[in-house]
Amino acid sequence: MDNNEKSASLNFIERIIEEDLANNKHGGRVVTRFPPEPNGYLHIGHAKSICLNFGLARKYSGRCHLRYDDTNPEKEEQEYIDSIEEDVRWLGFDWGEHKYFASDYFEELYQFAVKLIKKGKAYVDSLSPEEIREYRGTLTKPGRESPDRSRSIEENLELFEKMRAGEFEDGEYVLRAKIDMASGNLNMRDPALYRIKRVQHHRTGETWPIYPMYDFTHPLSDALEGVTHSICTLEFEDHRPLYDWVIQECEPEYRPQQYEFARLNLNYTVMSKRKLLRLVKEGYVDGWDDPRMPTISGIRRRGYTPQAIRDFADRIGVAKANSTIDIALLEHCVRDDLNARAPRVMAVLDPIKLVIDNYPQGQVEWLEAENNPEDPQAGSRKIPFSGQLYIERDDFMEEPPKKFFRLAPGREIRLKHAYYVTATSVEKDPQTGEITTVHCEYDPHSRGGWTEDGRKVKGTCHWVSAAHAIEAPVNLYDHLFTAENPGERTGNFIDDLNPDSLKVIQKAKLEPSLQEAEAGQIFQFMRKGYFCVDGTHSRPGQPVFNRTVTLKDTWAKLKKKMGV
C-alpha cells in the first residue's frame, strides 16, 4: 500500500466516486479499467493512468480491468501485449481474471450496431473519405447531410450485412451514426461507427472485414464489463457527448460514465509515441528500453523502482489543468526509496592513486563496513584496505578554494570506514601536469575512522584498494534533453538532445564485493549516486552498472555558485 490511503484530501475523481458510493449510484461498485491499444510500449505517462485506475480499485475495494482497445488491426501486435502486461505487473498491479479484449466483443458490438440501424440511428454511407471530410464542414461552419442519410432502414440493414459478409472493398462504405451535422462538436456530426478493413487481426484473424471505431467500441466495452468509472485523458472530453449518445441509444444494461483528467507531462522529456519512435528508429537511443527513455522498460532498466513510480504518481495528483511536472520530483522519489533500501558500496569512477607512505609494506586489513546506515538490519561486510588505494580525482585539490574540505596538501581527512590520512606530496605527469599520485601518511590510531582524542576531520572520502579493486563499465546517464520543453526553440526536438546524456566509464574501480552483483541489483555508490546492474549487458562475474540518479550534491552547487 502506498500513502494515497491517507485520505488527506481527495482528488476530483475520488470525490465523484465517494459521492457515487454515498448515493449508491452503481450499487456500491467501483470498476475501472486501463485500456491500452496494443500498438506501442508503455511510458511513464501510462504509469500515471495505471496507478490511478488500479489505485482507485484498490482503495475502494473494487476492481480494475486490463482491456486492450484492439479495434485497428493495422497497427496492433501481440508483442506489445506481452510488454504491456510485464510493465503493469512490474508496477505492482494485478488485473486478476479481468483481462479483456475489445475484439472479444465484436459480435455483440455488431448487434448493437444493427440495433441502431433498426432505430433509425445509423446508416450506411457511400461517401468517400474525402467527401465525408468535405461534408463535415469546419470548426465554424456546420456540415451538410450525406445523400445516403435518408437511406431506408431495410436497405441499411442489407448493406451492413453485406459489409460484414465481405462483399465490399475497403472504403466503399462506412456505417455512420445519425446525430447532428450542425453540431458545434465535430464528433457529433454523424461520426463513423464501422469501417471496412480487409485486414488480418492479431486475434480474430480474417473473421471480420469490418472493424468498429473507438467511439463506438469504448463505451459499449465499458458497459459490457460493468465499468462504473471510465477514466481517460482530457483530449477525450469532446467525445463524452458521443460516449453518452452511444450508451443512450444502444441501451446496454450498465451505464458507465466517462471522466477526464490531465495527462502527465515531464520537463526535459518527450512522451509522444511518434517522438519516442523517432528516437529509437534514428538511433539516438539504444532501443525502447534504453535507460534514458521514459518508457516503463527504460526506467526499469535505469534502476527506478515500482515503489518510486507509485509514490511519484501519488504526489503529482490528479486534476484537469494541463501541467508539466518537474522531473526533479521523479528523481526525488527514487532517491527517497533507494536511500532506505540500497546497500552502500564504494566505487571510484575517476581514479587517482593514493599511496600511504607509512603504511606497512604489503599489509592488507579487512575492515568492517556497514551496508546501510538507514537500515541496521542490512548488516555489514568486510572490505580490503592497503597502502595503495584509489580515490576520486576531484576529492583532491592542490590549491583548494575555501569551503573545500576534502584532501589537500597538509590536510587530514577520513577514509570511510578506514583511517585518517594527511596528504604530503603529489606526483604529476611531466607532459600534461596532471596529478597521477597523491602521497599521504595515515594515523594508525584512527582505525575504523575515528580517534580517541575525538579530533574532528571535516571530510570523509570513499576509496578502494588498488590491488583488490575490480574493474567494470559504468554508464553515467543524464537527462536525454537539455531543454525543459524539447523542440520549443527550433521546432525540432532532436535539436535539444543532450550530447552528454550518456558518459561511459570503461573501467571504474569497484570494491571486490561487487564482482558477483546480479542483474537488477541496486547499490548506492557512496557519495556518488544510485547504480543498478544492467539487465542486458551484464554477464555473471562481469557486471555493468547504470547510474539511476546522482546523490544530491551540495558541493557541486557551491562550486557553481563560487565559480570554481
Partner RNA sequence: UGGGGCGUCGGCAAGCGGUUAAGCCACCGGUUUUUGGUGCCGGUAUUCGUAGGUUCGAAUCCUACCGCCCCAGCCA
Among 296, 316, 391, 472, binds RNA (CB under 7 A): 316
For residue 110, give the nearest of 193, 44, 185 by alpha carbon: 193
Region near RNA per CB under 7 A, out of 212-220, 280-288, 300-308, 429-437: 212-220
Residue 219's φ and ψ, nearest 5 degrees, are: -60, -35
Q: Judged by CB under 7 A, does residue 72 bind RNA?
A: yes
Alpha carbon distances (Å) from 521 to 93, 304, 309, 524, 536: 21, 11, 17, 10, 13
- Choose, from 99, 198, 273, 557, the residue flagged as catalytic: 273
CB of 253 to RNA, least distance (A): 23
CB nearer to RNA: pick between 75 and 507: 75
CB nearer to RNA: pick between 284 and 450: 450
Strand runs labelled E in 20-132: 31-34, 63-68, 99-101, 122-125
Residue 180's SS3 state is coil
Region near RNA per CB under 7 A, out of 179-187, 199-207, 223-231, 475-483: 179-187
Which grid coordinates belong to 109?
458490438
CB of 266 to RNA, least distance (A): 9
Site residues for RNA, 329-368, by CB under 7 A, read: 329, 331-332, 335-336, 339, 344
Region near RNA per CB under 7 A, out of 322-330, 430-438, 468-476, 500-508: 322-330
Cα angle 62, 64, 68; round to 5: 160
Q: Judged by CB under 7 A, does residue 321 bind RNA?
A: yes
Catalytic, 273? Answer yes
CB nearer to RNA: pick between 1 and 139: 139
Region near RNA per CB under 7 A, out of 86-94, 325-333, 433-441, 501-509: 325-333
CA distance 404 to 459: 9
Indicate the residue type of 122: A
For residue 548, give the nearest of 378, 309, 325, 376 by alpha carbon: 309
Q: What residues does 463 pair with on adjacent strands? A: 391
Q: Judged by CB under 7 A, does residue 562 bind RNA?
A: no
Site residues for RNA, 110-129, by CB under 7 A, read: 127-129
Cα angle 16, 19, 22; round to 5: 150
Cα angle 232, 52, 267; round to 5: 80
Binding mask 389-418 for RNA (x = CB under 7 A): --------------xxxx-------x-xx-
CB of 527 to RNA, least distance (A): 4
For residue 310, give the nearest of 532, 34, 4, 62 by alpha carbon: 4
- Choose, from 263, 278, 341, 447, the residue flagged as catalytic: 263
Residue 440's SS3 state is strand
Residue 332's SS3 state is helix
For residue 86, give the nearest of 33, 50, 48 by alpha carbon: 50
CB nearer to RNA: pick between 69 and 222: 69
Region near RNA per CB under 7 A, out of 10-18, 91-99, 294-302, 505-513: 10-18
- Choose, from 18, 37, 86, 441, the residue flagged as catalytic: 37
Indicate the residue type of 219: P
Q: Judged by CB under 7 A, does residue 373 bind RNA?
A: yes
Q: Judged by CB under 7 A, does residue 12 bind RNA?
A: yes
Site residues for RNA, 239-298, by CB under 7 A, read: 239, 262
Residue 185's φ and ψ, nearest 5 degrees, are: -95, 110
Q: Which residues are catalytic?
A: 37, 263, 273
